[in-house]
Amino acid sequence: MLSDKLVDAINDQIQFEYHSAFIYKSMQAFFETQDLPGMANWMNIQFQEEMSHAEKMFDFICETGNQVVLQGMDNPHRDYTSPLEAFEVALEHEQIVTSRINALMDLAQQEKSHAAQIFLQWFVTEQVEEEATANHIIAKLKRVEGDGRGLIMIDQELAQRTFVPIAADN
Ligand code: FEO
């Protein structure tokens, strides 16, 4: 059902999603050291989201009768000069994810795989939300730069984030 080229490309993206999870878990560790528990929570939820993205692709590869191939990962970055820098790095990372998902969709179209195109549509939509969320937080952080009380308020807001599993019919 899937060409070897498509299986390899989705396998690469599975690896990238797990690596994304690793990056956000490392950002959580950074925020834990900064006494910003809300931002640490936000990064931990992001970690869980990335794990669920990887798992969704993992299941798709298995369901189509193919094998997932996992590889080692590079060490994630661990130090940031400010909360703003960490979220800017997160946004840059999501922009890379978006371009990778778009390239996967292009490949699925070239390979005429309707199943892969329908499957990837969920990720195309998800990336719009991922970038918008990061942009929104960056805008707020820029507004309060240097204002400790403002930072605490953003931290309290980000503490409210909870993990919502991907619906089974998605
Ligand atoms: Fe799995 Fe944040 O993209």
Asked if pLDDT for residue 146 goes beyond 90, the answer is no
The Å distance, Cα 122 to ligand 1 centre, comes to: 11
The pLDDT of residue 147 is 92
pTM for the whole thing?
Answer: 0.96
**Which residue ranges make up each domain of the chain?**
4-158
Q: How far apart are CA 140 and CA 147, in angstroms?
A: 11
Q: Which amino acid is at 161?
A: R
Q: Which protein residues touch ligand 1 with a CB less than 6 Å away? A: 17, 20, 50, 53, 94, 97, 130
Q: Which amino acid is at 83?
A: P
Span 41-65, mean pLDDT?
A: 98
Q: Which atom of ligand 1 is nearest to the CA of 94?
A: 2
The pLDDT of residue 169 is 73
The Å distance, Cα 96 to ligand 1 centre, comes to: 9
pLDDT 10s digits, 11-43: 999 999 999 999 999 999 999 999 999 999 999
The Å distance, Cα 34 to ligand 1 centre, comes to: 24
The Å distance, Cα 147 to ligand 1 centre, comes to: 30
Question: Domain spanning 4-158: which CATH class is it, in words?
Answer: mainly alpha
Q: Which atom of ligand 1 is nearest to the CA of 50?
A: 1
Q: Which amino acid is at 153?
A: M
**DSSP letters spanning 101-151:** HHHHHHHHHHTT-HHHHHHHHHHHHHHHHHHHHHHHHHHHHHHHTT-HHHH
Q: Which atom of ligand 1 is nearest to the CA of 46?
A: 2
